[in-house]
Amino acid sequence: MHNLTIKGKVLQQSDAEFAARLEATLFNKRPLTRKPFLLVEPHGIEDIQATLAYAKASGKKISVCSGGHSWSANHVREGGILIIMKHFNTYMVNKETMTAIAGPGVGGSILMKALVKEGLFFPAGHCEGVCIGGYLLQGGFGWNGRKLGMACESVIGLDLVTADGEYIHANANQNADLYWAARGSGGGFFGVVVAFHLRVYPKPKYIGAVTHVFGMEHLEEVFRWADEVGPTVPASIELQLLMSTKTVKFGKAGIEVAAPIFADSQEEWEAAKQFMYKSAIKSKAYIKVPYVPFSMGAMYKFAMTHYPEDHCWSVDNIWTAAPIDELLPHLRQIADTMLPAPTHLLWLNWYPPKQRPDMAFSMEDNIYIALYSAWQARHETPTLERWATDCIGKMAHLATGIQLADENLNHRTAKFVADDHLRQLQTIRQKRDKSSLFHEWHSKPQLAAV
């Protein structure tokens, strides 16, 4: 039994609603054996403060869920207290100051569509349903991110409750250590963010995409081309290669080369189109779709065709700058053993800027490769869940590290921030969460003594 009394809802394992409420926090329907001690749905700051005080007094650890799109269900921990931030889902936009304030339970697509109506924009996540809480904490790779940066770079402040129960604001000048840590620590953050203060941007004048689709027989040519042109891809293009057994939902096995374009001028728009129209491998594509303008609603709909609900998922990834000759054998093996769609491999030509703001986020490289394996029958999990991890694990020697957005740290330990940043994170944690109230990541790499 518990004696936690708050305005919001508290559920324990014996309650009839418990299993359904826990399930509702999971986009990934893969079976879980972990079960929290309590589920807490706070309605305000005082509820969060009371929950943290109760957890500290009872020796329970805290995890936090904003929207439940963690592939590894990082928020579901055995015997802990799960704070579900679903009621912190309001936002305000100030067009005059080009800022917004949004709760962690706000869907990124909801915020985006509201901004677009005002002629504004934010680098929100690519998939509908992804709430901004976990998305911004882990870094935030989103729409037009090659120009606007990681979404966490547009976080100008946070309102949060600390492990000591203090309700504070953090920014570059105030509680700067927590501001630094919150931008890139992901599910290992040691506080409960209740609002993000964001910088927003003018909506790009041109939004659309060019798409070419290739059969699997052209695998080597397509990936060699992507590797070769990587440094020259215009910043207005998010060049993505998506390999699956069923291209564009109905076609044959192959590779979709999609080029979403976010251009602020006609000159930039024309240059982005010509980059794809003059592709050296365009003639080999069996589907060639010229530039099509899209609303952001259509952009989200297109993205979600690859990430349907009610599926079990196993996901892993690497950042890499390895030579294409070393990557190709692994790409071929993945193609040869690919599970049925919507399982897919994503190759993203990223080529980050030479310098980012000083923040916890510190792991990226020229190329991002992620593997998303999916199946619907839960009973197939034991035979299918290792495929993505094993394939990516074989490429680990070619990796710089991983992105927390698609982490699989409960099955494979990997570097997700630079070593010196991880040391700094842990130093701040020891200062701000002395009693280790908040769960860390599922696993973290061992750091050499300095």
pLDDT score at 217: 97
> Would you tell me how many other CB atoms lie within 10 Å of the CB of residue 184?
28
pTM attached to this predicted model: 0.96
Q: What is the pLDDT of residues 306-327, one digit of tens each?
A: 999 999 999 999 999 999 999 9
pLDDT score at 450: 63
* Residue 333 lies inside a defined structural domain of this protein: yes
DSSP state of 189: -
What are the distances in angstroms from CA 257 to CA 65, 126, 358? Answer: 33, 16, 33
Q: How many domains does the chain have?
A: 3
pLDDT score at 65: 98
pLDDT score at 267: 97
* Residue 438 lies inside a defined structural domain of this protein: no
Q: For residue 448, is pLDDT > 80?
A: no
Residues pairing with 170 in the sheet = 158
Average pLDDT of the segment spanning 363-372: 98
pLDDT score at 447: 84
pLDDT above 70 covers what percent of the chain? Answer: 100
Q: Which domain holds residue 60?
A: 9-84
Give residue 225's Cα distance to chain centre: 27
pLDDT above 90 covers what percent of the chain? Answer: 97
Q: For residue 81, is pLDDT > 90?
A: yes
Q: For residue 86, is pLDDT > 70?
A: yes
198 and 287, same structural domain? Answer: no
* Residue 264 lies inside a defined structural domain of this protein: yes
Q: Tell me which long-range contacts 272-281 makes (C-beta under 8 A, separation of at least 24).
A: 272/210, 272/234, 272/236, 272/237, 273/210, 275/229, 275/232, 275/233, 275/234, 275/237, 276/210, 276/212, 276/237, 277/210, 279/212, 279/225, 279/229, 280/225, 281/212, 281/214, 281/218, 281/221, 281/222, 281/225
**Of 94, 81, 86, 76, whose CA–CA distance to 31 is shortest?**
76
Q: For residue 1, is pLDDT > 70?
A: no
CATH code where residue 359 lies: 3.40.462.20
Burial class (CB in 10 A: 0-12, 13-18, 19+), 59: exposed
Q: What is the pLDDT of residues 134-159, one digit of tens each?
A: 999 999 999 999 999 999 999 999 99
Domain limit, last residue, from 84, 104, 131: 84
- Among 1-5, 9-13, 45-49, 268-272, the minimum mean pLDDT is found in 1-5
* Residue 427 lies inside a defined structural domain of this protein: no
Mean predicted lDDT score pLDDT of the chain: 96
* Residue 104 lies inside a defined structural domain of this protein: yes
CATH code where residue 57 lies: 3.30.43.10
Q: What is the pLDDT of residues 36-49, one digit of tens each?
A: 999 999 999 999 99
348 and 219, same structural domain? Answer: yes
79 and 117, same structural domain? Answer: no
